[in-house]
Amino acid sequence: MVKVGVVAVQGDFLEHIQALRELSGVEPVVVKSARDLSDVDALVIPGGESTTIGSLMRVKGLDAAIVDLAERGIPIMGTCAGAIILAKRVVDRVVGETGQFLLSLMDIAVVRNAFGRQRESFTTDVYVDGVGKVRAIFIRAPAIVEAWGEARILAYVDHYSSGKVGAVAIERNLLTTTFHPELSGDLKIYEYLLSMAKR
Ligand code: GLN
pLDDT tens string 112-169: 999 988 888 999 999 999 999 999 999 999 999 999 999 999 999 999 888 999 999 9
User: How many folded domains does the chain comprise?
Assistant: 1
Q: Which of 16, 97, 180, 191 is catalytic?
A: 180
Q: Which of 16, 159, 171, 182 is catalytic?
A: 182
Contact 180, 79 (CB under 8 A): yes
Judge if pTM exceeds 0.75.
Answer: yes
Q: How far is the CA of 164 from the centre of ligand 1 (A)?
A: 19
Domain hosting residue 145, numbered range: 2-197
CATH code for the domain in which residue 172 is found: 3.40.50.880
pLDDT score for 80: 98
Q: Is the CB of 85 under 6 A from ligand 1?
A: no
pLDDT tens string 29-78: 999 999 999 999 999 999 999 999 999 999 999 999 999 999 999 999 99
pLDDT tens string 173-195: 999 999 999 999 999 999 999 99
pLDDT tens string 154-172: 999 999 888 999 999 999 9
Give the up-direction half-sphere exposure of residue 170: CA atoms within 13 A in the CB hemisphere.
13
pLDDT score for 165: 98
Cα torsion at 177, 181, 186, 191 (round to 10°)? 60
Ligand 1, pocket-test mutation among 57, 113, 118, most atoms within 8 A of CB: 113
Q: Which helix (H) or strand (E) holds 13?
A: helix 13-21
